[in-house]
Amino acid sequence: MTSVRSRVVVIGLVLAVSACSTPAKPASARRALQPVLLPDVSRVSESVQRQLRDRYTSLTMKRQDPSTRPAELAEAYGEMGTLLMAAEYLDAAEPAFLNAQSLLPDDMRWPYYLAHLYRLRNDTAKSAALFERTLELQPDDVPTLIWLGGVYVDQGQPDKAEPLLQRALSIQPRSAAALFRLGSAALGKKDYAIAVKHLEGTLREDPRASIAHYPLAMAYRGLGDVARANAHIRQRGAVDAALADPLMRDVSGSLDSALSSETEGVKALDKGEWSTAADYFRKGVALAPDNPSVRHRLGTALFMMGDARGALEQFEETVRRSPDFAKARYSLGVLMATSNRPQRAIEELSAAVRYDPKYVEARLRLAELLRRGNRIQESLSEYEQVINLDPAHAEARLGLAVALVGLGRYEEARDRLSESMKAYPDRPVFAHALARLLAAAPDEGVRDGGLALAIVTELRKRGQSAALAESTAMALAASGQYEEAAALQRQLMAAASKAGRADVTARLAADLAAYERRQPSRTPWRADDAVATMLALK
């Protein structure tokens, strides 16, 4: 019934808009206008319904008023089009923009919006044609040059894209968006050196544009530079290269919808624009006060702005309104942990995993807090559950091994670390921890000085560090090479002393004394050494 009724209303409104007016000049343009249909909006949120209906009413009034000037009417159609486009009613928005263009053919906004509309409808040919039309009206419009270049890249026509993007760069030499698309075009042509140049340029101009890292990695791989490729793979992400596009910003920010506000806020968060993000989330909270997701994100944005108190208020309000919203429990837990309130943190994290038993991050954080709070046996169970959920979870595997050491279960810890060392050859922390355990486990059945030495020798080929040197000394001692161990330990102490690290010197002295007594170390790691830091013991 509702649907039929709303359709009747729509038809009535359409008739009113399209037929009941005396055309103003230019009369021919007004006569050629297409009917603009307000779609059935009965299922959208009330705020958006109101917004769409208000704007439609305003358009209708202007359409019916013979004194409305063409420019004013074009503006009204354009505003209707942008709102419909923001609400994802692309088909409905199309005639609105076409009318605006018909009434005001020299205004670049209308072909520009139409070009985006066709791009969103995946009609790249029409999109390209409309962007070309926009450029006829405004040849130096940088967003248009960049978007059109992007459309040609997406069509597999890099040769058509490149001159447009170069023109954009000649106007805005620091445009990360233009550089990114040029890099993509070059990569598509297997022109790896040029791709590297442009994609490195993208990251130089916009270091947050993590989207550039993966194609850059592929370009370095193409040049045979696997090390650089891997380095960029590790930094990959999904944040776009910055493109200042005021016209499209007007569209995306126009909708009175909590989800739209949340979406825009998340984009701002990704770019590190905490304050902008908070503004979007505040708008979302105002529109939907009981939406836990948007309020939780507001708390996150506030925290990132340094407003811990504000963040806490939002997280607590989220939990008050939605007690089972696990993400807010998790955030509260993290906040409490950083505020040195471990008991409350454990309570909140426990609640998070109670409401969402498969929440891996919350369970891992809980395990870490329990382990550091000397509730090692309880932590073990949490680590095991994380590994059960995600058998490949490296941090959980590491935490579990450390917890096993804490419980004196050295053999199990050794086996776990051995397995992980093989599974994660690119994570030397496993090998390093295993070497320490083999060198200094109190359990004689676990100690294996020869193997410990072999592991640290391999690790030192990949890089040197004081922690690794200390581990080498431990392995040498465990292998019975006490003089060599002591000599190395003294060198380390001298370096620490020179660096003014009396604390380190004192710690190293304890093991040196053992080596001088021809005894190996019996402490794989201490709370204050570098390996402990790597193992997140602190």
Partner 1 sequence: MIRPPRLLFLSLVLLAGCGVDRTPAAPATQGAQDWFVERAQDTGLDFVHVNGMSGEFYFPENMSPGVGLLDYDNDGDLDVYLVQGQMLGPVNITGQTLKGRLFRNDLKVREDGTRTLRFTDVTDQAGIDAREYGMGVATGDFDNDGCVDFYLTNFGPNQMFHNLCDGTFADVSRQSGAGDPGFSVSASFVDYDRDGWLDLYVANYLDYSIAKNKPCSRLAGERDYCPPVVYIAQMDRLYRNQRNGTFVDVTARALAGGVVAPALGLATADFNGDGWIDIYVTNDNQENLLWINQRDGTLRNTALLAGVALPASGRAEASMGVDAGDVDNDGDEDLFMTELTGEGHNLFVNDGSGLFEDQSLRSGLGPRSLPYTGFGTAWLDVDNDGRLDILTVNGTISAIEALRRANDPLPYHQRKQLFRNLGDGRFEEITDRAGAAFQASEMGRGAAFGDLDNDGDVDVVVANDAGRTRLLVNQIGNGKHWLGLRLAGTRRDMVGARVSVSRKDGSTIWRRARADGSYASAHDPRVLAGLDDSVEAPDVRVVWPSGRVEEWTAVPGDRYTTLTEGTGRRAANR
Would you tell me which residues interact with partner 1 (CB under 8 A)? 3, 39-41, 43-45, 47-48, 86-92, 120-124, 153-156, 184, 187-188, 190, 211-215, 217-218, 221, 226, 229-230, 233, 236, 238, 255, 257-260, 263, 356, 358-360, 387, 389-392, 394, 419-420, 422-424
Nearer to partner 1, 62 or 213 (CB): 213
Task: Answer whether 394's CB lies under 8 Å from 424's CB.
Answer: yes
CB of 40: closest distance to partner 1 in angstroms? 5
CB of 5: closest distance to partner 1 in angstroms? 14
Nearer to partner 1, 84 or 477 (CB): 84
DSSP-derived letter for residue 25 is: S
CB of 266: closest distance to partner 1 in angstroms? 11
Nearer to partner 1, 8 or 71 (CB): 8
Query: Of 250, 249, 251, 220, which Cα lies nearest the Cα of 235?
Result: 220
Residues 6+ apart with CB under 8 A from 96: 36, 77, 78, 80, 81, 84
Nearer to partner 1, 55 or 62 (CB): 55
CB of 205: closest distance to partner 1 in angstroms? 17
Encoded tokens for 301: 């944005």
Task: Count Cβ atoms below 10 Å from residue 247 Cβ, excluding itself.
Answer: 16
Nearer to partner 1, 279 or 470 (CB): 279
Give, in degrees to the nearest 5, the angle at Cα 73 between 67 and 75: 140
Nearer to partner 1, 138 or 254 (CB): 254
Task: Answer whether 437's CB lies under 8 Å from 524's CB.
Answer: yes
In this structure, the chain runs to a length of 538
Single-letter amino acid, residue 439: A
Nearer to partner 1, 184 or 479 (CB): 184
Q: Considering Cα of 479, then 482, then 487, then 491, what sign does the dihedral take?
A: positive
Residues 6+ apart with CB under 8 A from 98: 34, 110, 114
CB of 3: closest distance to partner 1 in angstroms? 7
Rounded to whole angstroms, the maximal C-alpha distance in the chain is: 106
CB of 130: closest distance to partner 1 in angstroms? 16
Nearer to partner 1, 186 or 446 (CB): 186
Q: Is 374 left (phi over 0), alpha (psi -120 to 50) or beta?
A: left
CB of 399: closest distance to partner 1 in angstroms? 15
CB of 451: closest distance to partner 1 in angstroms? 19
| 298 Cα distance to chain centroid | 16
